[in-house]
Amino acid sequence: MVFVGALLRRAPRRMQCRGMATKIVSSQPITLEEKNDALEVLLQRGPDTKALTIPLVWLRDHCRHPASYNQATNQRKSNATNLFECAEIVGKESVSVTDENKLAIRWKDGLQSQFHVSDIVECSELDPPPVLSNYVKSWKQLAPDELPRIHISGFSMKTLAGLFVKYGMVIVDGVEANPHATEQFCRSIAPIHNTFFGSFWVFSNKTQEKGEEYHEDTAYGNESIGPHTDGTYFQQTPGIQVFHCLHVAERGGDTLLVDGLYCANQLKKQNPEAFRILTEHKVSYFPILLIFKLQTFRYRSYRILWFLTGFEQEM
């Protein structure tokens, strides 16, 4: 049994934009994580009012004062290393609304910013959040003949994306059973994420016999390893995984997929507190990066130095 594998990078998330006639009714400092680290801005659209929460660090980062922004090149001048320290105000008197359409802020360091309501609205999502059940479907409600699948001959990125969002997996039929056709299809979906196996690789439980490149990984043998999540040790975990069976095994080799949405819903029902902690609390972690440095000496002898480095991040 021979498989090809590839990891595809996630596309960057983008905020949806909405254009609307809106005015600012009021604004006041509120607390998200630390005291007075955000503003609650009350917006009015026709007869409706909506409260919008804006972190101060976002406002400082989007300040268009000449000291912070180059209008000619559309580039920031601000220093990202002290952005949070600069995003401080003294109190509610530091924030005011002018002409019902401008939010004025006097920062603790003396810098002054103005934000037009149209710019704030353009970078905000004011509509109610979408109902998840309208867009996704648990596999428990999925009959075998309802497996999400499309044929390569009628391939549509829109259809693929819709099925992938709804079910979390898609079967694509009709792709030629060779590495070149598989890689070509992968690259048509998204950029391939490079790994220590390379960006694209062929593996088998009989790799050594077939003369293919050897990958030392338990998953590529005959031993069952059970459900698991791949790529969690990468600094940027894969957004999509693609597997294509090039040679079917005489027996075994079944693919096992787990409905993560159903698992999360079960946890929420059985242990709401655990679900709340996992979804609301930031967890610090330390990714370990392995750095290779090649030292050269006379007569071209070499030594490889290994460095382990870690830095704290939050997820």
The string of DSSP codes covering 220-256 is GSSS---S--TTTTSSS--SEEEEEEEE--SS-----
Cα separation, 242 vs 211, in Å, equals 23
Token pair 């894969």 in the structure block, residue: 238
Average pLDDT of the residues in 82-106: 89
Q: What are the distances in angstroms from CA 118 to CA 19, 101, 131?
A: 8, 8, 27
Architecture of domain 22-122: 2-Layer Sandwich (3.30)
Q: What is the mean pLDDT of the chain?
A: 79
pLDDT digits (tens, 9 = 90+) for 235-291: 777 888 888 888 887 887 788 888 988 899 999 999 999 999 998 887 776 666 555
Every domain of the chain with CATH number 3.30.2020.30 lies at 22-122
Single pTM value for the model: 0.59
For residues 17-37, average pLDDT: 77
307 DSSP β-pair partners:
291
Percent of the chain's residues with pLDDT above 70? 80
Q: In what order do the strands lie in the sheet with 48-55?
A: 23-30, 38-45, 48-55
The pLDDT, as a whole number, for residue 271 is 97
What is the model's pLDDT at position 44?
86
Q: Across residues 26-40, what is the average pLDDT?
A: 86
Nearest to 29 by CA among 96, 82, 86: 96
What pLDDT is attached to residue 213? Answer: 54
CA angle 258, 262, 263 (to 5 degrees): 70
Confidence band (pLDDT; 50, 70, 90) for 60? very high
- Whole-number pLDDT of residue 301: 41
Digit-coded pLDDT (tens) for 158-217:
999 999 999 999 999 999 988 899 999 999 988 888 877 777 877 777 654 554 555 566
Using an 8 Å Cβ cutoff, are 139 and 170 in contact? no
Contacts of residue 159, Cβ cutoff 8 Å, sequence gap at least 6: 150
